[in-house]
Amino acid sequence: MADIVALDRPLDAFAEQAPPATRVRGYWQSVFYRLRHDPVTLVFASIVLLIVLAALFAPLIAPFDPYKESIVGRLKPFGWREHLLGTDELGRDMLSRLLYGGRISLSMGVVPVLIATLIGGMLGVIGGFAGGRVNTAIMRTMDVFYAFPSVLLAVAIAGAMGGGIGNGMLALTLVFTPPMCRVAETATTQVRALDYIEAARASGASTAAIIRYHVLGNVLGPVFIYASSLVSVAILLASGLSFLGLGVRPPTPDWGLMLSTLRQSIYVVPAVCAVPGVAIFITSICFNLVSDGLRAAMDVRM
């Protein structure tokens, strides 16, 4: 009972309360704040970073020349004469080939997704914002590509134009543009119907200004998240193309190609044959988990 203090003017009790001490963050600040407090994403993001760095600095880290063959040292197990991950069917060091192969596999994963995001995202935003016939024209064209199974389309394109890294990337870009376009189009259509777009127009903003200040920011989130999840798919597809002989050509080291050429030796050194597969698996899992973390961190409505 002693706690209760009689007040002449009860409202003063609220008036004297200091406002809660809150730090106001901008959008990107709040995204980084949420990421910092998400240990799972941080761990997997650092693994991704490690893989990228390892591939980038392959010439410095690789213990052997990835092209150096050895007749006597073929298909040796882990740890044979300083070959930490053994040797492949031509006696080349697996670790070195894995590091060098990461350069091609990763760029096959990132570059097509990047180009597809730019092209698909642009077409999607234009179609979604314009609506009507423009949208129908763009989306139905995309649907034509969408109708093919992605692997089949990639194989068909790479097959028609011949193998090689460039054509493989082009094939993957064509495969990823339609879904990217659809994600951007859906996000744009949703945003376009909201009142703040109308309010911006009522303030006198031009269509370009509305897209620049109100649409792009809201479309970027879903597009970025989808792109990061596509990277793992792209790495797998690129490996698949190389496996089928439509991507990278031997003797260039590439994870998919290594898996393909080593598969005949699976009964001789099973562990060594699994190494490129494990690398592909870990990389794509990490990209997927980072993408999930980004999805959580970038959702403004949470």
Partner 1 sequence: MAEVIALSPALDPRDRGGPLQPMLIARDLRKHFPVKGARGKSVQAVDGVSFTVRKGETLGIVGESGCGKTTLARLLLHLIVPDAGELIFDGEAVNAPDGLSVNALRRQVQMVFQDSYSSLNPRMPIRDSVAFGPFIQGREKPEARNIARDILAKVGLDPDLFGP
Residues that bind partner 1 (CB under 8 A): 19, 22, 24-27, 29, 194-196, 198-205, 209, 213-214, 217-218, 300-301
Cβ atoms within 10 A of the Cβ of 152, count?
A: 10
Query: CB of residue 23 vs partner 1: minimum separation in angstroms?
Result: 9
CB nearer to partner 1: give 65 or 299.
Answer: 299
Look at residues 80, 221, 234 and name the one whose alpha carbon lies nearest to residue 150: 234
- Structure tokens given for 116: 């597809």
CB nearer to partner 1: give 152 or 194.
Answer: 194
Residue 245 has, within 13 A of its CA and on its CB side, a CA count of 1
Query: CB of residue 160 vs partner 1: minimum separation in angstroms?
Result: 42
Query: CB of residue 74 vs partner 1: minimum separation in angstroms?
Result: 58
Query: CB of residue 26 vs partner 1: minimum separation in angstroms?
Result: 4
CB nearer to partner 1: give 32 or 57.
Answer: 32
DSSP state, residue 19? P
Distance, CA of 301 to CA of 215 (rounded, Å)? 16
- Total count of residues recorded for the chain: 302
Distance, CA of 27 to CA of 299 (rounded, Å)? 10
CB nearer to partner 1: give 6 or 302.
Answer: 302
Structure-token match 């597009």, residue found:
223
Query: CB of residue 20 vs partner 1: minimum separation in angstroms?
Result: 9
Query: CB of residue 275 vs partner 1: minimum separation in angstroms?
Result: 44
8 A C-beta contact, residue 80 and residue 87: yes
Helix or strand (DSSP H, E) at 222: helix 216-243
Cite the DSSP H helix spans in 131-164: 132-146, 150-161
CB nearer to partner 1: give 17 or 203.
Answer: 203
CB nearer to partner 1: give 12 or 198.
Answer: 198
